[in-house]
Amino acid sequence: MIVAVAGGKGGVGKSTVTLNLARELEGVAVDADLSTADLPGGDGPGLHEVLAGRADPIDAVERVGSVRILSCGRTLAGARAADVSELERVLDRIEREYAHVVVDCPAGLARDVGTVLHCADVTVLVTTPEKSALTDAFRTRELAFDLESPVATVVLNRSSAESERITDRVEATFQAPVTVLAERSSIEDARRVEKPVRDVRPKAAVLETFERVARTIEQCGRSRIGSGRT
């Protein structure tokens, strides 16, 4: 199963959600933000080199701590050399090898985002409660709908008790279940060291939220397969 983690606006926590979902699903996290990589990098070739035909996708997957990651690369030259049209082939190859692929999408609605959504079996939208972030996430939701990548859940990140009051409205607008991810010190502690929460705070209450999102993704994926859509 290929899972796209998207949201439109940058800085809403897509990379954090990607890393933690890859850990919970025991899959591979792929950093598909070709110009602004956020996932921790390994020592070998990254997605830039893979998309340029200079490295094999499976060989480029590295274990960084407890998570398998295909990092992106951080050079402008690498981004220019990458052939985005190869991304579907690359993601399919990784899926065949590892079963679950969680892709960190770039911000905005550039071609790269559409390519990932087109490849994805399901989409997870990440947004904060601010109006601008919700607006951008909804635009991404419309693109995902057009590309037939169902939204498994909307992760309302950095939520406070006050912002949780809009959950019903967000669900009605996005026509998808909302998962509230409140501000937690455990998330920030893990983010600072670029690790999943489970590796840093294994008894943190927020792990129940990431587990619930992982189950929702798997249920949505099974439903999609059961409906005959591949």
Angle made by CA atoms 60, 66, 72, in degrees to the nearest 5: 35
The whole-number pLDDT of residue 107 equals 83
User: How many C-beta atoms surround the C-beta of residue 196 within 10 A?
Assistant: 24
Give a yes or no: residue 211 inside a domain.
yes
Query: Percentage helix, strand, coil, to 5, in the chain?
Result: 50, 15, 35
Confidence tier at 223 by pLDDT (50, 70, 90):
confident
H-run or E-run covering 191: helix 185-192
Give a yes or no: residue 230 inside a domain.
no
Q: How many CA atoms lie within 13 A of 199 on its CB side?
A: 17
Whether residue 42 contacts residue 69, with contact meaning beta carbons closer than 8 Å, is answered with yes
Give a yes or no: residue 226 inside a domain.
no
Is the pLDDT at 162 greater than 80? The verdict is: no
In percent, how much of the chain has pLDDT > 90?
73
How does pLDDT run across 190-221, given as a tens digit for each residue? 999 999 999 999 999 999 999 999 999 999 88
Give a yes or no: residue 228 inside a domain.
no
How does pLDDT run across 35-59, given as a tens digit for each residue? 788 898 878 899 999 999 999 999 9
Give a yes or no: residue 36 inside a domain.
yes
The whole-number pLDDT of residue 95 equals 97
Number of domains in the chain: 1
Is the pLDDT at 230 greater than 60? The verdict is: no
How does pLDDT run across 71-98, given as a tens digit for each residue? 987 666 667 788 889 999 999 999 999 9
Separation CA 115–CA 105 (nearest Å) = 10
User: How many C-beta atoms surround the C-beta of residue 160 within 10 A?
Assistant: 11
Q: For the domain that residue 65 is a member of, what is the CATH number?
A: 3.40.50.300
- Predicted TM-score (pTM) of this structure: 0.93
Give a yes or no: residue 199 inside a domain.
yes
| pLDDT (average), residues 112-127 | 93
The whole-number pLDDT of residue 111 equals 67
Give residue for tokens 């390519």: 115
How does pLDDT run across 120-138, given as a tens digit for each residue? 999 999 999 999 999 999 9
Name the 3-class secondary structure at 224: helix
Confidence tier at 100 by pLDDT (50, 70, 90):
very high
Give a yes or no: residue 166 inside a domain.
yes
Which of 102, 51, 53 is closest to 73 using CA atoms?
Answer: 51
Separation CA 122–CA 103 (nearest Å) = 11
**Domain span at residue 121?**
2-218
The whole-number pLDDT of residue 196 equals 96
Give a yes or no: residue 143 inside a domain.
yes
